[in-house]
Amino acid sequence: MSHIKNVSVVKNNGSVAELTNQCFWISISNWLNYFLQLDVSVSTLRQIASTNHTIVNAEHEMVDTTTHEQAILNVANKYNLSIRIYVQIGNNNFNSNIQQINTEYCVEISSNKIVQPYNVDIISYGLHFELIDTTTVGYHFTRQNLTLPTPRNTLITDAEQLDIILAISKAEAELTKKQESKKCMTQMLADQNNLLKQTNLSETELISQMLVSSAFICDEPKKDPSHDLQLTWV
């Protein structure tokens, strides 16, 4: 089965108020607005990102998933998000609402809460980010989000406590795999960024090199969706 998928994206120009190159935070803001009905501004997200004096991108600087990883994690922890960043591939025009990604490879920065986080999927063009619209036809690979457990007054039973311990152990094993995959994906993003900066390449040559990079740079095992962390309150 092909892992190349067509997805619809929510366009943005990276600018908000007096800020530029804020496309990453705009994408997160769009998701919170569309799916959680939370009106969270880019300015608020940047404040959350900078918690505990964490380095956040400047007012006219792009987010870098390595340099600003902790800033992204601060936002992920605040809203219990799993932020997954996919590289744009294929020969689609960058201005199109329909783009292609390889669903096998992504950089994932996820909340450290026990409850399974909400998936927020973002596409990277190398020098730009946009939200992937998970409601569109053709987007079938995303895991179903788990609703937060309802509050209760009863204590956790021994069986539930054991389930939590087992779930944490499984999550730690999955984290090790994700960290290895993340190193590979980070290199892919860096290579794509370098290609986009080479002005001597034609559009056809650029797309060709991006396809080769995304197809052969990683050799990761396929992920079994059934291994996702799921906790169910009884």
Question: Structure tokens of 203?
Answer: 């559009």
Per-residue pLDDT at 187 = 74
pTM for the whole structure? 0.60
191-215 b/e (C-beta count within 10 Å ≥ 16 → b): bbeebbeeeeeeeeebbebbbebbe
Tell me the domain boundaries of the chain.
4-227
Per-residue pLDDT at 3 = 80
Question: Structure tokens of 162?
Answer: 């054991």
pLDDT tens-place string over residues 120-161: 999 999 889 999 986 654 443 333 333 333 333 334 455 555
pLDDT tens-place string over residues 8-23: 899 999 999 899 999 9
Instruction: Report, in this order, helix, strand and coil percent for the chain, each rounded to 5.
Output: 40, 15, 45
In angstroms, the CA 141 to CA 226 distance is: 12
